[in-house]
Structure 1
Amino acid sequence: MIWNEKIECASLDQMQALQLAKLQETVAWVYDRVPFYRNKFDSMGLKPDDVKSLEDLAKLPLTVKTDLRDNYPFGLCAVPMDDVVKIHASSGTTGKPITGPYTADDINQWRECVARNLHAAGVFKKDIVQVAYGYGLFTGGLGLQGGCDLIGCATIPASSGMTERQVTIMRDFGSTVLCCTPSYALTIAEKAADMGVDIRELPLRVGVFGAEPWTVEMRQEIEERMGIRAHEVYGLTELMGPSVSFDCQQQDGFMHINEDHVLAEVIDPVTEEVLPLGEKGELVFTAIQRRAMPLLRYRTRDITELRRETCSCGRTLLKMKKVLGRSDDMLIISGVNVFPSQVESILLEVPEVEPQYVLIIRKKGYLDALSVDVEAKAEVYDQGEEKLQAVEKRIEGKIRGTIGIGVKVRLVPPKSIERSEGKAKRVFDARKL
């Protein structure tokens, strides 16, 4: 079902009754089938019957990424492999990959969540959807494909890469929807301009972007360059993949959580205390309908806040604020906490630069120092050193005034920063060189 009004517009009492039943069912399921959780419960003196209300969720053990790596590949799987129909995994660039096994029911639930996301973005059966997320172990490509299949729209499984071909397909096939990372959307827009193709004149009208943090300013930049409405898809390999949450036509900076499938909490990342609605902290999710690998209280490391209100779109689903940083991506420069997204917001307000940048961390004495390389627009770069220095000083002043730290800014030639075909790498740690 694409528009599930019974769920997406449920009353709080109806939703919480469903959540409690599914939570109790899931806790009993993992206790009986996953030794890792059974040992955790036993060491804490907990039994599944101790979960009598949603407030009891806070009693359950937290799960962290190292738990998944320590139990690689299928130590947290709650079903025999005969019941597994698909296995996804993370890239594993920082260690063993995170595996995500699915039963047939898990896949069907995931498809519905993705279809809800697409429907909220204004995607319908008549659309032609170009999926430029990577296909394969990464959940992005096949995840969006599943939602498109449920809607019944025409899907182009373009995958990521070969950017010139992406533009050609978009033009020749008449794509009306583009799904990819936001940084790759900008790469596609830039390539189109190089090819003499005006994307704004093509049938493309909607973008569904995710898999990396991106600012409101980045959304506005994409919308301006491509002439589309840019919507967000949020997800994790560990939970189901894309469409754990999504934004709607209101684009108010918050996303609707598919809370009939995942319970959301925000905790203090240091004390692990559960925080009330409206307070910023680390996002924690519990899967309550998955069967292959339902995780309890999984720490995402994403920083956000939760809000419960009826949206003007009619949905009553719990809302999470747009994620603009992760607790493990936070930089500490001169004693100040800095998220890359803060710098991005400032750069995208500067008309003389392109939305292509990297942050470089170096050692300066006993402290860490941050510098920024950002591409100048061609017409600015051609004006010479005096103009570049003036813009650099202005950006440095904006950063100091907003974040409170001194940052060295360097304007570099157009197209000198490596382009992304997937998740953009924005931070380089030169301390390790």
Structure 2
Amino acid sequence: MAFWNEEIETMPREELERLQLRLLRAKVREMYDKSAFFHEKMRSVNMLPDDVTDFDAFRRIPFMKKTDLRDNYPDKLFTVPYDEITRVHVSSGTTGRPTVVGYTQNDLNNWTESLARGMTSFGMTKKDMLQNFHGYGLFTGGLGVHYGAERIGATVLPISTGNTERQIQLMQDLPVTAWAGTPSYMFHIADTCDRLGVDIRRDTKVKLAIAGGEPWSDSMRNKLQDRTGVRIHNCYGASEMSGPMFLECAEQSGLHVWADLAYMEILDENGDPCAEGEKGEMVVTMLQKEAFPLIRYKMNDISSLTWEKCDCGRTHPRLGRISGRTDDMLVVRGVNVFPSQIESVIGEMAFLSPFYHITLENDNYMDAMTVEVELNEEYLTEDMNALANMSKQLASRLKSILNIKAEVKLVLPGTLKRFEGKAKHVTDNRSYE
């Protein structure tokens, strides 16, 4: 098994935690001295930097939230002047003000280092050519993956999103061995290959992929791997952190969170630490970020963390697959519903493709949820009994998982809208006026 930085990647847990605490204390002192925002947060709970003597004391520091970033738009949270900032990225700003994130050269180096470790962990080398489907520009995905691949010496094809037929032509004409992009766009690539009569296994050299940028499930991965023959590795990150940062190794058993770069907490609804392996809300502290530090930032993602040594030999904690978000939770007739729950049910059923859409309506203040899902091509039939049975099977399984009834509509392949970036799975038309 290859390592990018074996000494760090295999460091014993005790040493990693000592390193984390040292970095935490230094970052708290730096932020207390340099950030009026953070200084006031600590004063609000009567804390001084020297009070952070252990991890329990650190957890007394109040959380940072997304609203803090927007309230301090555009750059009030920067802790270095612009003449020390090498790059600025800006989030999409789909709700409220966008998030502006600055990077020093050291920030960019650490981001690239994180991805170089991750890419090496699942087998990418300088002999690979990466076709990068992620968008370039203000979005962090494209440039993050690009520089990570170049760091390990791989060749990068910076094709970005769109023009799918050209994408497929180039992956046939050039020795492309790896992809990076959203899983929904990879499914679109596979659909278009089928339409064009291109066999990814036969007509290309693609063997590996990095997929992220939107929620997806293990069942969705299995379907995509079965269709394409490409081994697909999960990716996690956010623009506030740096962008795509943590990847799965060849074992595909969790995302390696580099403990020298980030301190990850998993907390229950009361803000207390969850047991190892138990699901809760993710809270991240970036240990070496200079221009835009995060201290106890609530990611709104739900996951779990384990320190169990990975079979690949790496000792850093591993993050489980994201199972939902605290801020995209849907409340339907008083029941909490996550789109990821619906996606997992869809993934169980061979007759369904991974493309789905949820529509919420209300009549007389009574919520109604409709789930549209595309049939897989091979299950198309004019047999009304067969179609009814498939609909019944899906509706029954959804009710057992969600504890509410959903209307199910099976639609033809290619019916639902495709997205080159993050897929949008929910339309909420409810009104309570």
How many angstroms does 1:344 deviate by? 1.2
SS in structure 2 of the partner of residue 277 of structure 1: coil
Residue pair 1:88, 1:138 contacting (<8 A) in 2 also:
yes
Task: Tell me which residue corresponds to 1:236.
Answer: 238
1:406 lines up with 2:405 in the alignment:
yes
Task: Tell me which residue corresponds to 1:180.
Answer: 181
Counterparts in 2 of 1:338 and 1:170: CA distance versus 1, 3 Å: same
Q: Distance in 2 between matches of 1:421 and 1:314?
A: 36
SS in structure 1 of the partner of residue 93 of structure 2: coil
- Tell me which amino acid in the other structure corresponds to 2:304: E
- Tell me which amino acid in the other structure corresponds to 2:86: V
How many angstroms does 1:382 deviate by? 4.3
Counterparts in 2 of 1:379 and 1:316: CA distance versus 1, 3 Å: closer
Task: Tell me which residue corresponds to 1:324.
Answer: 323
How many angstroms does 1:147 deviate by? 0.5
- Tell me which amino acid in the other structure corresponds to 1:163: T
Task: Tell me which residue corresponds to 1:298.
Answer: 297
Any idea what the Cα deviations from partners look like across 1:178-198, whole Å, max 9, x if unmatched? 000111110111111111111
Task: Tell me which residue corresponds to 1:130.
Answer: 131
Task: Tell me which residue corresponds to 1:387.
Answer: 386
1:366 lines up with 2:365 in the alignment:
yes
Alignment of 1:34-433 (within 5 A): 34-201=35-202, 202-243=204-245, 245-252=246-253, 254-269=254-269, 271-383=270-382, 385-432=384-431
Counterparts in 2 of 1:55 and 1:5: CA distance versus 1, 3 Å: farther
SS in structure 2 of the partner of residue 290 of structure 1: coil
How many angstroms does 1:378 deviate by? 4.0
Structure 1 stretches of 5 or more lacking a match? none
How many angstroms does 1:386 deviate by? 4.0
How many angstroms does 1:170 deviate by? 1.0
Structure 2 stretches of 5 or more lacking a match? none
How many angstroms does 1:308 deviate by? 1.3
State which drifts further: 359-368 or 277-286.
Answer: 359-368
Any idea what the Cα deviations from partners look like across 1:12-68, whole Å, max 9, x if unmatched? 221112111111111111111111111111222111111112222201120000000
SS in structure 2 of the partner of residue 332 of structure 1: strand
Counterparts in 2 of 1:174 and 1:426: CA distance versus 1, 3 Å: same
Residue pair 2:362, 2:431 contacting (<8 A) in 1 also:
no
Counterparts in 2 of 1:16 and 1:399: CA distance versus 1, 3 Å: same
SS in structure 1 of the partner of residue 255 of structure 2: strand
Counterparts in 2 of 1:364 and 1:384: CA distance versus 1, 3 Å: farther
Q: Distance in 1 between matches of 2:71 and 2:383?
A: 54
Q: Distance in 1 between matches of 2:333 and 2:105?
A: 50
- Tell me which amino acid in the other structure corresponds to 1:400: K
- Tell me which amino acid in the other structure corresponds to 1:104: Q
Superposed CA RMSD in Å reads 1.6
State which drifts further: 390-399 or 142-151.
Answer: 390-399
Q: Distance in 2 between matches of 1:297 and 1:87?
A: 22
Any idea what the Cα deviations from partners look like across 1:218-237, whole Å, max 9, x if unmatched? 11011011101110110011
Residue pair 1:58, 1:274 contacting (<8 A) in 2 also:
no
Q: Distance in 1 between matches of 2:45 and 2:371?
A: 47
Any idea what the Cα deviations from partners look like across 1:251-272, whole Å, max 9, x if unmatched? 22x2211111110101224x22
SS in structure 1 of the partner of residue 148 of structure 2: helix
- Tell me which amino acid in the other structure corresponds to 1:226: T
Q: For this pair of structures, how many residues does the alignment match?
A: 430
SS in structure 2 of the partner of residue 409 of structure 1: strand
SS in structure 1 of the partner of residue 168 of structure 2: helix
- Tell me which amino acid in the other structure corresponds to 1:115: A
Task: Tell me which residue corresponds to 2:6.
Answer: 5
Q: Distance in 1 between matches of 2:88 and 2:57?
A: 31
How many angstroms does 1:6 deviate by? 1.6
Per the normalisation by structure 1, the TM-score is 0.96
Residue pair 1:92, 1:98 contacting (<8 A) in 2 also:
yes
How many angstroms does 1:174 deviate by? 2.2
Residue pair 1:121, 1:208 contacting (<8 A) in 2 also:
no
SS in structure 2 of the partner of residue 30 of structure 1: helix
Residue pair 2:89, 2:101 contacting (<8 A) in 1 also:
yes
SS in structure 1 of the partner of residue 358 of structure 2: strand
Q: Distance in 1 between matches of 2:364 and 2:375?
A: 30
SS in structure 1 of the partner of residue 345 of structure 2: helix
Q: Distance in 1 between matches of 2:10 and 2:21?
A: 18
Any idea what the Cα deviations from partners look like across 1:202-256, whole Å, max 9, x if unmatched? 100001011111100011011011101110110011111111x22111122x221
State which drifts further: 224-233 or 371-380.
Answer: 371-380
Per the normalisation by structure 2, the TM-score is 0.96
Residue pair 2:3, 2:9 contacting (<8 A) in 1 also:
no
Any idea what the Cα deviations from partners look like across 1:311-353, whole Å, max 9, x if unmatched? 1110110111110210111222233322111111211222222
- Tell me which amino acid in the other structure corresponds to 2:225: E
Q: Distance in 1 between matches of 2:376 and 2:3?
A: 43
Q: Distance in 1 between matches of 2:37 and 2:190?
A: 47
- Tell me which amino acid in the other structure corresponds to 2:240: E
